[in-house]
Amino acid sequence: MARVFHSGSSLKQLLAYHEAVNTKTNKILLWIFGMVAIAALLLAVSKGFSHPPKQIRLGLMVPLSGNSASVGERIRNGAQIAVADLERNGQHISLIIEDDKGDSPTAVSVANKLISSDRVRIIIGTAKSDPMLAIAPITEKNKIILISPTAGADAISSAGDYVFRTIELADGHGKAAAEFFSLKNIRTAGMFVANASNAQSYGNAFVRHFSETGTLTATSTYNPADADFRTIISKIISTHPQAMYLGVATAKDAGLIVKQSRELGYAGPIVASVAAFAPEFITTAGSAAEGAYVNAPSFDASVSPALEFNQKYRTRFGADSDGFAANSYDAIMLAARAIHSCGGDSNTDCIRDTLYQTKDYRGVSGTMTFDRNGDVAKPVAIKRVAGGKFVDAQ
């Protein structure tokens, strides 16, 4: 009911009444405004929960067919475990997987597709050095981050500012092979090197280090597309080396060379470069693979964090992991770490700089620090084939 003032009411009473009304009105308006603000805040929060964070797209290009398919499969497996771990931690990654077949023309086509059609800003791959060197000018021009888990050619070190890799340098592999020969008192060796950038780099590294303690009796190059190496092998054998070193392009050609060497009567130790570290080496060489040695990335699944990674790998894929899969996992995790630090994947200059600043990162493949070329230094292992499997060399 409205309050009625008589003609006798004082001006003071009238002003007091209006002041009371205005105060009450202001309180009501403040309450209304407060409720509207709360409603708007709740609406914004609800929208935030109903729309998941933006997915980051990463390209993964590896050989899933051809002579290096098993290497590509292991890289893919490691990457998939990394993506699953990131999803559990709230970082949403969409992995676009492409088969580059391990050859340069296909790799160029795949890289262009990932950049132009899929709009990725980071590519994990390639597995092999020649395809890596073929696509590096493309990724560099477009400021695309390129991280290889396995490409070992020396030329990759100077392939661009946006190029990185989580595999150790070829020099470490050459040194490990030379030291292995020295421990076995091997002072002479024959060498086969494939006409491929990775094989040439591993061969050159072996020569640098072996020359400190031994002598090469003969050196021959070969075309990895060939299938018959007997003529070259015979020439090497005729120089009577105590051992052979193979700088190979793929595990298949390594298997053929070892098989044909044994068939021609060579019984000395044979060490092959890291490309031979694949099932195709054993299946191609057959029983001749027994006792042969290969370089491999060092991977110790008995200690954390490699232990936990290997358990996930075994659960998902029914086999133990190795250094290739571990390198792939670390490449994804380092990329995701940089993306998070830079607030997304659009600023690849920031991602590049963040990667270069990586120091003593404890990954599943080992502790890594990127140098000014985007390279890392890690231990190298020597594996031996025993019972149709790769085991640690004694």
Query: 10 or 343: which carries more pLDDT confidence?
Result: 343
Which domains, and CATH codes, for the chain? 56-168+300-378 (3.40.50.2300), 171-299+382-392 (3.40.50.2300)
Supply 284's token pair: 């191609």
Q: What is residue 46's predicted lDDT score, i.e. its pLDDT?
A: 44
Q: Label residue 130 by pLDDT band (50, 70, 90).
A: very high
Determine what percent of the chain is predicted with pLDDT higher than 90. 86
- Mean pLDDT across 322-337: 97
Cβ–Cβ < 8 Å for 149, 166 = yes
d(CA 219, CA 234): 12
Structure tokens at 341: 């630090």
In whole angstroms, what is the distance from residue 145 CA to residue 142 CA? 9
Taking CA atoms, 251 is separated from 15, 158, 194, 325, in Å, by 99, 26, 12, 17
Neighbours of 237 (CB within 10 A): 18
Spatial contact of 342 and 134, defined as CB atoms under 8 Å apart = no
Spatial CB neighbours of 162, under 8 Å, sequence gap ≥ 6: 139, 140, 143, 144, 145, 146, 348, 352
Tell me the two tokens of residue 165. Answer: 């890799």
**pLDDT at position 14:** 42
Assess whether pLDDT exceeds 90 at residue 39: no
Residues in the chain: 394
Mean pLDDT of the chain: 90
Contact of 268 with 244, CB cutoff 8 Å? yes
pLDDT, average across residues 246-261 = 97
Which of 138, 79, 72 has the alpha carbon at shortest distance from 108? Answer: 138
How many angstroms from the chain centroid is the CA of residue 377? 14
In the predicted structure, residue 9 carries a pLDDT above the cut 90: no
250: pLDDT strictly greater than 50: yes
C-alpha R_g of the chain: 31
Instruction: Identify the band that residue 300 occupies on the pLDDT scale cut at 50, 70 and 90.
Output: very high
- For residue 47, the model assigns a pLDDT of 44
Sign, CA dihedral 333-339-341-344, equals negative
What's the pLDDT tens digit per position in 170-218? Answer: 999 999 999 999 999 999 999 999 999 999 999 999 999 999 999 999 9
CA dist 176 and 314 (Å) reads 28
5 has a pLDDT exceeding 80 = no
Q: Dump strand ranges (E) for 116-175.
A: 122-124, 145-148, 163-165
And the tokens for 196? 């491929």
Measured CA to CA, the distance from residue 266 to residue 291 in angstroms comes to: 13
Two tokens at 356?
Answer: 């270069």
Q: What are phi and psi of 222, to 5 degrees?
A: -150, 160
Tens of pLDDT, residue by residue over 42-97, are 454 444 443 444 679 999 999 999 999 999 999 999 999 999 999 999 999 999 99
pLDDT at res. 55? 77
Rounded-to-integer distance, Cα 123 and Cα 61, Å: 7
